[in-house]
Amino acid sequence: MIKRLLHTRYRVSDLDKTLFFYTRVLGLEEIRRSTSGRGSELVFLKAPGSEELIEICKFDGSGPVIVGPDLTHLAFEVDDLEAFAAHAASLGYPLSDGPHKTSSGSVIAFVDAPEGYEIELIQPAPPAL
């Protein structure tokens, strides 16, 4: 039986541009790098406060990376969506959608990662008084 989620993999063509986005824009930490038996370049990343990893894979032998619209996304919690948006925009990654307030009081927005992957940002609703 399954015990826990270990990682999610995204294949990319431009490893350097992708790693800049995930480490400098999102603030993820690079945990390890390796090369698989078939020659894939693998980089594992971790978000602060999370145990699950994101595996970024570059393997030119699989052909071009084609990400369909609204196919998949990663969602991250942020403390201050406005501050994150200013930071991301200063590095060349403005929000692609939002911010939008939800019925629960949280605020969500999206930013596009290199290769066309979508990143959802969620600022939780303030605690009820």
Residue 82's H or E segment, with its range, is helix 81-90
Please say whether the beta carbons of 40 and 34 come within 8 A. Answer: no
Could you check whether the bond before residue 99 is cis, i.e. omega within 30 degrees of 0?
Answer: yes
Question: Quick one: average pLDDT of 59-70?
Answer: 89
* Amino acid found at 104: S
Measured between alpha carbons, how far is 72 from 96 in angstroms, rounded to an integer?
Answer: 15
* Amino acid found at 69: P
* Amino acid found at 26: L
Nearest partner of 78 among 87, 70, 69, judged by Cα = 87
Residue 31 pLDDT class (50, 70, 90 cuts): very high
Measured between alpha carbons, how far is 22 from 56 in angstroms, rounded to an integer?
Answer: 10
All domains of the chain in start order, with CATH: 7-59+71-123 (3.10.180.10)
Q: Give pTM, 2 decimals.
A: 0.91
Q: Is the pLDDT of residue 128 over 80?
A: no
Could you say which of 29, 52, 55, 120 is catalytic? 120
Known catalytic membership, residue 52 = no
Q: Is the pLDDT of residue 69 over 90?
A: no
For residue 47, the 8-state DSSP code is -
Measured between alpha carbons, how far is 65 from 90 in angstroms, rounded to an integer?
Answer: 26
Residue 127 pLDDT class (50, 70, 90 cuts): confident
The pLDDT score that the predictor gives to residue 84 is: 97
Unique residue bearing structure tokens 């993999």: 9
